[in-house]
A and B are shown apart, each in its own frame.
Chain A
């Protein structure tokens, strides 16, 4: 017999005001210097804080940074290239969705 376990509670990241540099480092398993490099080329942008240790990022930054790290790790894309690729990837996703609607509505 399988016992019913209570569901695991999940936190919606977007509901938070911001994420910290430390959280970004931890979630992507990278050093702070590496995050700073990605900030310098605009992969992510802090919306508060002057110095790196005061930086606060919009929650959406996490998904972008993880993606940039994967592109770097798997495809050897540099930080500036990752910034460009991410913008294009996001734009393509929006266009693909619109195209799907226009070409006969949503799919099952």
Chain B
């Protein structure tokens, strides 16, 4: 397994004081917290930080880590000596803030036995305090294609879900779930999967799994709530004379009438063509007039005739009149 350099993860020296470590952790935690950060790998970064802090904030764990890790570099292959745990007692420490269920193999092999009871998914809480019959509710974030949000349908998600075997040693194991996404879910909404959270104790029911849905950015469509926005390029003569064009929507192509005298930036609405719901969203078309480059002499002449015959100054509003 790979050796983890917890000091370099937190960006502190090996002789850093407890205060330095705390400060470094707090600062990086703010930067990479999945609820705050826009970095794509925030979740794994934050996990790594928590793991590093879990070890370095605890004098006993830190001492054990220092002793075992002498001479190792980040990423180097690491094997702990077979009997090393006998020298240290982590039994009573427990975990206070971290997500032990998703810590690395490296962490597990060093401090695994202390992790009993501390495991949780993203957002859950440790079960150390008190006995509850019902299993814990878990939470996760899931990205789905916009098309799935529109029509609903099956989507497979993979969760780093902590298992809780009888012996108390907790391991994170990826768990795949095939979920039927309800049609009409919008960005940031939650869906609930009944009974898919933590297992209950004894005869207690399992908890629920909450999935916070995020819509994957789409090549064409921009969702905002239930409404869908689309840039619609049109030719200058289509804008001037009006026309009917084919427009893509999530439900397929539709015909759309462009009124004569349409302006660039104008917004046209296709009622009820957004994400389903009550009421369903609309689709908005943002007109963008695109002037083609003349490729032939004839095309160039057409432009020249327009220049000579059309009394049009697009910049008339920029000068003079205000005074």
Contact = CB atoms under 8 A, between A and B. Distances in A.
Interface string B181-203: 11011101111111010000000
Contact of B38 (A26, A59, A63, A96): A96
B97 A74 contact: yes
A70 B185 CA distance: 24
A27 interface: yes
A13 interface: yes
Given A26-B137, A71-B35, A14 B217 contact: no
A101 B212 contact: no
A101 B222 contact: yes
B69 interface: no
Secondary structure at the A interface, as helix, strand, loop or mixed, is helix
Interface string A72-103: 01111000000001000100010011001100
B139 A8 contact: no
Contacts of B181: 10
Contact of B196 (A8, A29, A69, A107): A8
Contacts of B29: 74-75
B1 interface: no
Interface string A4-28: 0111111111110000000000111
B35 A62 contact: no
Given A59-B190, A75-B29, A8 B212 contact: no
B231 interface: yes
Interface in B1-51: 26, 29-30, 33, 35-36, 38, 46, 50
B136 interface: yes
Interface of B: 26, 29-30, 33, 35-36, 38, 46, 50, 97, 123-125, 134, 136-137, 139, 154, 177-182, 184-186, 188-194, 196, 207-208, 210-212, 217-222, 224, 229, 231
Interface of A: 5-15, 26-30, 59-60, 62-63, 66-67, 69-71, 73-76, 85, 89, 93, 96-97, 100-101, 105-108
13 contacts: A7-B178, A8-B178, A11-B192, A14-B185, A14-B186, A26-B208, A28-B125, A29-B136, A62-B210, A67-B35, A70-B33, A75-B29, A97-B222
